[in-house]
């Protein structure tokens, strides 16, 4: 079996442990050895799947092949952590729930470190970059291009022909209409519908979604 650890010992880390278990029950061969976390002491029990093995310094000293899933529900934090992990023994697999409905496996292009939770649908001719979280019940339409370090929260829906850059957060049950381009650092609020081109590093709320200044 291939050894894997989870970086992040919070609630989302527990969910990713459950995801690994579902993958194993459907033919996967992962051995979950535990969790890494910078805020909890070594030995702290996280869930029935294991305890805290150490922090970032511990991970950087690993001298054997180890797959790591970064289970932090904050795309900016995930980027910071990835930039710190320069250990050549560490790899970042894609963890994909067996329930994924994939319209055309042959045309899906995907990088590394992505986490796809249960009951999602990905259509044809889709490209997904690195370290994206695609949460429960997300729909990704045809001809979508998704960059790196994005968070698609539960039940987010992307229509066809959408381009998404990096470090964006699409809230619970949000909708992006067809043909839209989202740059970088955009937050789309829960239940919002994006119908116009958003500005980078901005927050949009409502139906239709409008720029919100805090």
pLDDT at 214: 72
pLDDT at 103: 97
**Cβ neighbours of residue 27 under 8 Å, at least 6 residues apart?**
none
H or E element at residue 146: strand 145-146
Q: Which of 132, 155, 145, 134 is nearest to 181 (CA)?
A: 145
Could you say which residues of the chain have pLDDT below 70? none
pTM of the model: 0.96
pLDDT at 105: 95
pLDDT at 81: 96
Q: Which of 188, 185, 186, 149 is nearest to 172 (CA)?
A: 188
pLDDT at 197: 94
Q: Which of 21, 94, 88, 133 is nearest to 1 (CA)?
A: 21
CA distances for 67 relative to 18, 81, 145, 208, angstroms: 16, 15, 26, 41
For 211, the token pair is 């720029």
For 183, the token pair is 């740059």
Query: Do 57 and 83 touch, CB atoms closer than 8 A?
Result: no
């Amino acid at each position: 079996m291939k050894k894997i650890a989870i970086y992040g010992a919070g609630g989302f880390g527990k969910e990713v442990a459950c995801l690994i278990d579902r993958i194993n029950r459907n033919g996967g061969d992962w051995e979950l050895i535990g969790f890494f976390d910078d805020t909890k002491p070594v030995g702290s029990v996280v869930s029935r799947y294991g305890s805290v093995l150490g922090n970032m310094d511990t991970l950087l000293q690993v001298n054997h092949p180890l797959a790591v899933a970064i289970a932090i529900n904050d795309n900016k934090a995930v980027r910071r952590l990835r930039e710190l992990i320069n250990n050549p023994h560490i790899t970042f697999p894609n963890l994909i729930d067996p329930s994924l409905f994939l319209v055309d496996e042959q045309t899906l292009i995907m990088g590394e470190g992505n986490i796809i939770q249960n009951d999602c649908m990905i259509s044809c001719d889709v490209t997904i970059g690195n370290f994206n979280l695609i949460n429960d019940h997300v729909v990704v339409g045809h001809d979508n291009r998704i960059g790196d370090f994005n968070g698609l929260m539960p039940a987010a829906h992307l229509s066809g022909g959408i381009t998404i850059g990096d470090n964006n957060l699409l809230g619970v049950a949000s909708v992006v209409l067809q043909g839209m381009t989202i740059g970088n650092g955009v937050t789309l609020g829960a239940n919002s519908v994006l119908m116009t081109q958003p500005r980078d590093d901005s927050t949009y709320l409502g139906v239709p979604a409008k720029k919100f200044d805090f």
